């Protein structure tokens, strides 16, 4: 590897950032109004939950698995956030119906109104994720099948919690997500914090190296005396944790829950990881890239709508952007091999 | 014929232009339609109506732009992003058919904070800063019994066909029907089936319940999209044809016309016109114009009576729904009604 500024390796790690910059320039050229505090806020605030979901997906991809349930899980968290976390059990539509019909008294005991119920359910969600990791390792099951099955479980649970869209996000999440810090828009600060936190956690700690190694060369890690079971459990639990943050930030933005709120996140998160320089195999990931990838995908939507591309074509165009970036990466890989 | 109605709405437009009632400072304002779904005939008709009314309005210089945007997938997050993009694109008002009554509130609030007028219709949003053009489905159901009361003073047994179970609209219409029946005890609802607003499903459901029902069914109350199927089921069972309330679908109107010509069959038909999008457009334009408009408005139903059947059938395309486009004056009337 030479030290020249345009070495393929450097190019590849810069590719996500370069695509984001190119997209931003195109957006500002099309819509100068977007180049403002309000503009960044509006274009990027929905990128926060997507970025968090992308990090969650990246954790799973690190250990050579794929999570097809992340979208419905984020929706589940959003439903819990809009009900249990804001008003405890008493905020569930089911309980409200019972109160209206007189089966339950209007004044509920403390136990039924405490938001602790929400915290408990969210913690249980992370435990379920950890158990999934264990199950996939123990029985050597294909993660795609297990998580696809789980996606229906999460969706079903969301519908049980919130049969019709509604609920209200807890005030503190709402005020956090609508923060208006001076000079730098909140979504940019949030994205930077997420990226740095995930980077330190996975790329800079010693156990992080083990986690990544378990994806690249599981047998070597096992021989070195590390438990692969623990690694899977840790990575799935991390995915559950970041997925939870995604759901909470989403409900903070939308103000209320809906079981179908985040179905797209499954595919968006996978695309975000890949766009950000991650690969499906071998623990090759980049947390910073993943956050940039999520932002790129979100901005691609804005870009296409500023271009006035008919909506029927937008999904196709979004796919085309993905393919272009991937093709560029393949070109760089090719150049690297030739050296 | 559609061209003719188009001309009519143009003429109406010109009339309002001359009257100077609704037009003042909106010539440089841009209005966008944010729509979450375009996959059925009702939504397609809604989008066509939007084009038909807003294009002449833009040409006449009433507003600077009126562009429709539909999300490709019926998804809340996608529509939230769409609304935010529309704000950035500098639209002054967003007319919204929302994917969710609650989950878009965050995006709607941001739009309001940016000074954008948001008018929701059909799929309305609960955010207080937005305007709502809602449908009073309960009254729609109750009206059916009111009509029957005039036609059949002696009352009798009634069969109810409901819509899709678990959907808000089905619940509301049915509540209205039952409220009407409680107030008029001469009508007895002897059976309820779910027809899912679909002719084939309704036919199967009615055929299934008919043998268990008394012979003297005098009327069938419906929710729209199920009247023709019910008629087929009664015919197949060899029963006397009851009064079936229709729901403005073309096949229903065609069958009604056929029966009317053959034996003077009488009923009525009511539903929400897809053209309600144009009503929302005019309401948005009036708000931009600085008019005082109450936040909650009610859509008038499109009701077809015995006398108007031929005309309605003529203007309704095969497989479609009877439609009407609204004018600025209609919007004014709706606003005035809400102020009272």
Cβ neighbour number for residue A303 with a 10 Å cutoff: 24
Evaluate whether A177 touches A253 at the Cβ level (below 8 Å). Answer: yes
Q: At what angle do helices A70-82 and A116-138 cross, to 10 degrees?
A: 160
Low-confidence ranges of chain A (pLDDT < 70): 1-6, 282, 311-312, 339
Phi, psi of A257 (to 5 degrees): -100, 165
pLDDT in tens, B155-195: 999 999 998 776 667 888 999 999 999 999 999 999 999 98
CB contact under 8 A, B89 and A306: yes
Cβ neighbour number for residue A25 with a 10 Å cutoff: 10
State how far the Cα of A56 lies from the Cα of A222, in Å rounded to an integer: 24
Q: Does A100 touch chain B (CB under 8 A)?
A: no
Q: At what angle do helices A47-62 and A70-82 cross, to 10 degrees?
A: 130
Q: Which of residues 12-41 of A touch B (CB under 8 A)?
A: 31, 33-34, 38-39, 41
Asked whether residue B76 is assigned to any structural domain, the reply reads yes
Shortest Cα–Cα distance, B88 to chain A (Å): 6
- Which residue in A65, A73, A45, A56 sits closest to A263, CA to CA? A73
Q: Chain B residue with minimal CA distance to A305? A: B85
Residue with tokens 């829950």, as numbered in its chain: A257
pLDDT at B8: 52
Of chain B, the percentage scoring pLDDT greater than 90 comes to 50
Of B78, B86, B89, which is closest to A264 when you measure between CB atoms? B78
DSSP string covering A11-69: HHHHHHHHHHHHHHHHHHHH-GGGSSHHHHHHHHTTHHHHHHHHHHHHHHHHTT---TT
pLDDT at B9: 55
Q: Report the SS3 class of residue B255.
A: helix
Asked whether residue B317 is assigned to any structural domain, the reply reads no
B120 and B98: one domain? yes
Q: Does B128 touch chain A (CB under 8 A)?
A: no
Running DSSP on this structure, what letter comes out for residue B300? Answer: P
Residue with tokens 């009798």, as numbered in its chain: B156
Question: Residue B30's domain spans which residues?
Answer: 2-135+273-301+322-339
Phi, psi of A221 (to 5 degrees): -65, -40
pLDDT at A339: 66
Q: Can you state the percent helix, strand and coil of chain A, rounding each to 5?
A: 75, 0, 25
Running DSSP on this structure, what letter comes out for residue B205? Answer: H
Q: Does B168 touch chain A (CB under 8 A)?
A: yes
pLDDT in tens, B47-80: 989 999 999 999 998 999 899 988 877 778 888 9
Cβ neighbour number for residue B277 with a 10 Å cutoff: 28
Q: Which of residues 52-111 of B touch A (CB under 8 A)?
A: 67, 69-73, 75-78, 80-82, 84-90, 100-107, 109-110
pLDDT at A244: 97
Shortest Cα–Cα distance, B87 to chain A (Å): 8
B295 and B201: one domain? no
Residue A138 region, left (φ>0) first, then alpha (ψ -120 to 50), else beta?
alpha
pLDDT at A109: 83
Evaluate whether A16 touches A293 at the Cβ level (below 8 Å). Answer: yes
* Mutation target vs B (from A52, A255, A316; most B CBs, 10 A cutoff): A255
pLDDT at A120: 95
Running DSSP on this structure, what letter comes out for residue B295? Answer: S
Residue B10 has pLDDT above 80, yes or no: no
Cβ neighbour number for residue B186 with a 10 Å cutoff: 12
Cβ neighbour number for residue A223 with a 10 Å cutoff: 9
> Which residues from chain A sit within 8 angstroms of residue B86, using beta carbons?
305
pLDDT at B7: 54
CATH number for position B128: 3.40.50.2300
pLDDT at A322: 78
> Which has the higher per-residue pLDDT, A325 or B20?
A325
Residue B244's pLDDT band (cuts 50, 70, 90): very high
Running DSSP on this structure, what letter comes out for residue B259? Answer: H
Running DSSP on this structure, what letter comes out for residue A261? Answer: T
pLDDT at A144: 93
Asked whether residue B53 is assigned to any structural domain, the reply reads yes
Evaluate whether A305 touches A314 at the Cβ level (below 8 Å). Answer: yes
Residue B22's pLDDT band (cuts 50, 70, 90): very low
pLDDT at B112: 94
Running DSSP on this structure, what letter comes out for residue A204? Answer: I
Kindly state the tokens that stand for B6. 């188009």
Kindly state the tokens that stand for B78. 């996608």
- The number of folded domains in chain B is 2
B44 and B165: one domain? no
Residue with tokens 């030290």, as numbered in its chain: A3
Full-model pTM? 0.77
CATH 2.60.40 fits A8-338, yes or no: no
First to last CA, chain A: 8
B22 and B36: one domain? yes
Q: Chain B residue with minimal CA distance to A312? A: B72
- Which residue in B213, B208, B241 sits closest to B227, CA to CA? B241
State how far the Cα of A320 lies from the Cα of A297, in Å rounded to an integer: 11
Q: Which of residues 179-238 of B touch A (CB under 8 A)?
A: none
pLDDT in tens, A15-51: 889 989 999 999 999 888 888 888 888 889 889 999 9
- Which residue in A50, A48, A80, A64 sits closest to A267, CA to CA? A50
Evaluate whether B233 touches B296 at the Cβ level (below 8 Å). Answer: no
pLDDT at A333: 79
pLDDT at A248: 96
pLDDT at B16: 47
Lowest mean pLDDT among B31-45, B119-133, B281-295: B31-45
CB burial of residue B254 (10 Å; 0-12, 13-18, 19+): middle
pLDDT at A99: 83
Residue B20 has pLDDT above 50, yes or no: no
CB contact under 8 A, A260 and B76: yes
pLDDT at A3: 46
- Which helix or strand (DSSP H or E) is residue B187 part of? strand B187-194
State how far the Cα of B214 lies from the Cα of B159, in Å rounded to an integer: 10
Strands B93-97 and B131-134, sheet pairing: unpaired
Q: At what angle do helices B76-88 and A287-306 cross, to 10 degrees?
A: 60
Kindly state the tokens that stand for A94. 């089911």
* Mutation target vs B (from A49, A165, A295, A303; most B CBs, 10 A cutoff): A165
pLDDT at A254: 87
B80 and B47: one domain? yes
Cβ neighbour number for residue B230 with a 10 Å cutoff: 29
Kindly state the tokens that stand for A226. 């590390």
CB contact under 8 A, B100 and A258: yes
State how far the Cα of B189 lies from the Cα of B144, in Å rounded to an integer: 13
CA B156 to chain centre: 29
Length of chain A: 339
Residue A166 region, left (φ>0) first, then alpha (ψ -120 to 50), else beta?
left
pLDDT at B3: 53
Residue with tokens 């209005």, as numbered in its chain: B31
Which residues have CB under 8 Å from B271's CB, separation 6+?
A: B224, B247, B248, B249, B301, B302, B321, B322
- Which helix or strand (DSSP H or E) is residue B17 part of? helix B2-19
pLDDT at B6: 53
């Amino acid at each position: 590897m030479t030290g020249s500024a345009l070495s393929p390796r450097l190019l590849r790690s810069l590719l996500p950032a370069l695509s984001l910059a190119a997209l931003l320039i195109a957006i500002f050229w099309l819509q100068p109004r977007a180049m403002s505090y309000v503009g960044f806020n509006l274009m990027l605030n929905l990128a926060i939950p997507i970025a968090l979901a992308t990090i969650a997906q990246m954790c799973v991809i690190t250990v050579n698995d794929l999570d097809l349930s992340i979208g419905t899980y984020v929706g589940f968290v959003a439903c819990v956030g809009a009900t249990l976390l804001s008003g405890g059990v008493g905020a569930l539509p089911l309980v409200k119906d019972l109160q209206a019909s007189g089966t339950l008294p209007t004044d509920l005991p403390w136990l039924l109104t405490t938001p602790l119920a929400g915290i408990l359910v969210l913690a249980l969600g992370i435990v379920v994720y950890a158990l999934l990791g264990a199950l996939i390792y123990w029985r050597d099951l294909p993660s795609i099948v297990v998580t696809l099955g789980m996606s229906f479980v999460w969706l079903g649970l969301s519908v049980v919690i919130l049969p019709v869209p509604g609920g209200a996000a807890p005030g503190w999440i709402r005020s956090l997500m609508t923060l208006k810090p001076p000079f730098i828009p909140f979504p940019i600060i949030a994205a930077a914090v997420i990226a740095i936190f995930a980077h330190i956690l996975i790329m800079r700690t010693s156990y992080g190296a083990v986690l990544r190694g378990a994806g690249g060369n599981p047998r070597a890690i096992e021989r070195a005396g590390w438990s692969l079971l623990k690694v899977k459990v840790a990575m799935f639990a991390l995915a559950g944790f970041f997925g939870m943050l995604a759901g909470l930030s989403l409900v903070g933005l939308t103000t209320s829950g809906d079981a179908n709120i985040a179905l797209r996140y499954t595919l968006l998160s996978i695309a975000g990881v890949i766009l950000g320089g991650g690969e499906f195999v071998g623990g090759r990931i980049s947390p910073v890239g993943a956050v940039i990838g999520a932002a790129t995908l979100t901005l691609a939507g804005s870009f296409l709508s500023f271009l006035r591309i008919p909506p029927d074509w937008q999904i196709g165009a979004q796919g085309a952007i993905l393919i272009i970036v991937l093709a560029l990466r393949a070109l760089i890989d090719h150049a690297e091999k030739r050296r | 014929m559609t061209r003719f109605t188009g001309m009519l709405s143009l003429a109406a437009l010109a009339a309002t232009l001359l009257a100077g009632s609704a037009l003042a400072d909106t010539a440089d304002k841009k209005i966008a339609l944010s729509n979450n779904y375009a996959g059925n005939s009702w939504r397609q008709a809604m989008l066509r109506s939007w084009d038909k009314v807003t294009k002449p309005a833009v040409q006449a210089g009433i507003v600077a732009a009126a562009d429709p945007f539909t999300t490709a997938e019926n998804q809340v997050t996608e529509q939230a992003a769409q609304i935010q993009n529309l704000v950035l694109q500098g639209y002054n008002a967003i007319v919204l058919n929302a994917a969710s009554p609650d989950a878009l509130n965050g995006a709607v609030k941001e739009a309001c904070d940016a000074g954008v007028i948001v008018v929701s219709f059909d799929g309305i949003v609960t955010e207080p800063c937005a305007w709502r053009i809602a449908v009073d489905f309960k009254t729609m159901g109750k009206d059916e019994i009111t009509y029957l009361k005039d036609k059949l003073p002696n009352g009798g047994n009634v069969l109810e066909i409901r819509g899709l179970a678990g959907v808000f609209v089905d619940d509301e219409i049915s509540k209205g029907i039952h409220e009407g029946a409680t107030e008029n005890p001469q009508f007895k609802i002897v059976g309820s089936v779910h027809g899912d607003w679909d002719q084939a499903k309704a036919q199967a459901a009615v055929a299934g319940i008919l043998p268990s029902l008394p012979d003297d069914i005098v009327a069938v109350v419906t929710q729209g999209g199920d009247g023709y199927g019910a008629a087929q089921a009664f015919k197949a069972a060899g029963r006397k044809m009851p009064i079936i309330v229709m729901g403005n679908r073309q096949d229903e109107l065609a069958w009604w016309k056929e029966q009317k010509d053959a034996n003077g069959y009488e009923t009525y038909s009511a539903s929400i016109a897809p053209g309600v999008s144009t009503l929302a457009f005019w309401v948005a334009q009036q708000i931009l114009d600085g008019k005082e408009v109450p936040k909650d408005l009610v859509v008038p139903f499109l009701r077809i009576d015995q006398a108007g059947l031929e005309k309605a059938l003529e203007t309704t395309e095969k497989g479609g729904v009877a439609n009407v486009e609204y004018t600025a004056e209609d919007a004014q009337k709706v606003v005035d009604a809400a102020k009272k």
